[in-house]
A and B are shown apart, each in its own frame.
With several copies, the nearest count.
Chain A
Amino acid sequence: MQEILSFIYVHKEAIFIIALSILLGIEVISHVPAILHTPLMSGANAIHGVVIIGAIIVMGHADTTASLTLGFLAVVLGTLNVVGGFVVTDRMLEMFKKKK
């Protein structure tokens, strides 16, 4: 219990940021029409590709060959998520645009 409370105190800003982000996520999504569910899922999928930042940091400070290799893999996978995610979403949304 003590540990959890101290944890909260030390990370208070991060916890606030988390709470606010959760509320924002809910707020922003809650009125989306059903036909946009799939592109939205795909777009959100691309955004969590932000994990690539972590992969870059890990790889950028890797000191052994093993960790460099794993880091390399992480960056490749993260990039896949980002690039694939955004491109696929764009393709889907292109289908929805009004044709003249």
Chain B
Amino acid sequence: MLQNIPTGLSVLELIYLIASVLFILGLKKLSHPETARRGNILSAAGMIMAIICTILFHKKDGQPIGHIGLILLAISIGTFIGWTIAVKVKMTAMPQLVSFFNGMGGAAAALISLMEFPRMNPDLIARTGMMNGHAIAILLGLIIGSVSFAGSMIAFGKLAEKIGDPKLKFMRVVNLTFMAGILAFTVFILTQKNIHLENISWMAYVLLGLSLIYGVTFVIPIGGADMPVVISLLNSFTGVAAAMGGFLYDNQVMLTGGILVGSAGTILTILMCKAMNRSLLNVLVGAFGGGGAGLDKVAGNIKEISVSDAAVLLSYSQKVVIVPGYGLAVAQAQHLCHEMEKMLDEKGVNVRYAIHPVAGRMPGHMNVLLAEADVPYDRLSESDEINEDMPNVDVVVVIGANDVVNPAAVDDPSSPIYGMPVVRVWEAKNVIVMKRGMGKGYAAIENFLFYNDNTRMLFGNAKESLQKLISEIKSL
């Protein structure tokens, strides 16, 4: 038995082992800031090894891989398109791009299942009926892959702002119905006995159709701002779908890689929810989200500040902290923000940025945004760090942030964001808030910071306000 194994197959297994370990190490390094980039390269190396060696060494019933020319063509096309898109797209469009690529993986998994379904071993089915590991893996791969594909495309559309956020309360019922339907139909397929495969091949297509629709109805009602969480969830779905393929072909690298992403993705989803102080269920069912312009029901005193006063206040301060938020990204004012920071720096003002982990609409949004504008990395501090020093800060400039500077998170136990870590800007000596009006943030709740004694509002689109502020500072 030992002597008859072709060397190629053994080498392939070894390569698969190495690739799996590289995936794990890569993921591990990806979760530390200093090693993240190397981690990504490690996983990529594992992937390339696995692909090349599969083409070279894989055998099925003694047959090597055929159609190599076409396979290489397909890979070239995929590489060309993937690379071009990935390199060209703007930094701020990254989340939808991740969603798009995730959908591609899901589609590939679904296609594999679709093709394997009619090819199942008739002997096996004669013996066990459809209730066997092979059939289960195929069906799960089909369902999960297509849900992931359809869902990712919707998420992509939402983030690219091509699909809106319809308020569809009844969707919850529709979704549950669909889920039950898919489940029932799967069980129906699995309990078939003594059948010919040709007679039930159509069932795979029905299942595909159902799953695609479910993918759409699942994501449609969730608010656009929650898409990062949804993408992370669909990401772990695709991982599981890929693992099903590993089960099918007794292929350990697909199994490990897929399951690894499945479990890491699930944890990541939960972590992302936690960072927003919400539960996953809450995100999926959608208790809040979408934000919008809120009515000002609070009778309080709003104090505005003129651009010239703001310029003077900033120029003669010692310590200034800038708290960027979603509005800065919307206004695409990061470059102006950096310009102002440089000008103040030249005047001898100590300027830092307080980066809240969930400011914006994706984790790390602010880092990416400010990095795009070439803000030096050492100017960015985590909000916790800045909080300690807050009482010594002369002016905090809040640019398009709202929820992440809401004192309710600290002092109002009835608030939905109570307990979320926030930048405690109200402890600084002065606060200048730049936003367009009294619009609410993502959590759609009131922010009493704006009514504080030491808060001054500078209304207007962040880009224009910053522009004015800069010319004012220049002319001082």
Contacts and interface: CB of A to CB of B under 8 A. Distances in A.
B374 A47 contact: no
The number of chain A residues touching the other chain, given as a range, is 35 or more
B253 interface: yes
B252 A13 contact: yes
A96 B60 CA distance: 44
Given A9-B9, A35-B357, A53-B251, A28 B78 contact: no
What DSSP secondary structure best describes chain B's contact surface? helix
B232 A41 contact: yes
A56 B264 contact: no
Given A26-B264, A38-B363, A20 B256 contact: yes
A86 to B, nearest CB: 4
Given A28-B27, A40-B30, A45 B235 contact: yes
Contacts of A50: 19, 23, 47, 50, 242, 253-254, 257-258
Nearest to B19: A50
Given A77-B104, A86-B47, A89-B40, A95 B26 contact: no
A19 B20 CA distance: 9
Contacts of A22: 259, 262-263
Contacts of B51: 52-53, 56, 82
Given A5-B14, A76-B74, A25 B259 contact: yes
Given A7-B132, A40-B27, 5 more contacts: A12-B13, A29-B27, A38-B364, A85-B101, A90-B41
Interface of B: 1-3, 5, 7, 9-11, 13-14, 16-17, 19-21, 23-24, 26-28, 30-33, 36-37, 39-41, 43-44, 47, 50-51, 54-55, 58, 60, 63-68, 70-71, 73-75, 77-79, 81-83, 85-87, 89, 91, 94-95, 97-98, 100-102, 104-105, 107-109, 111-112, 114-116, 128, 131-133, 136, 228, 231-232, 235-236, 238-239, 241-243, 245-268, 271-272, 275, 355, 357-358, 362-365, 367-368, 371-372, 374, 376-378
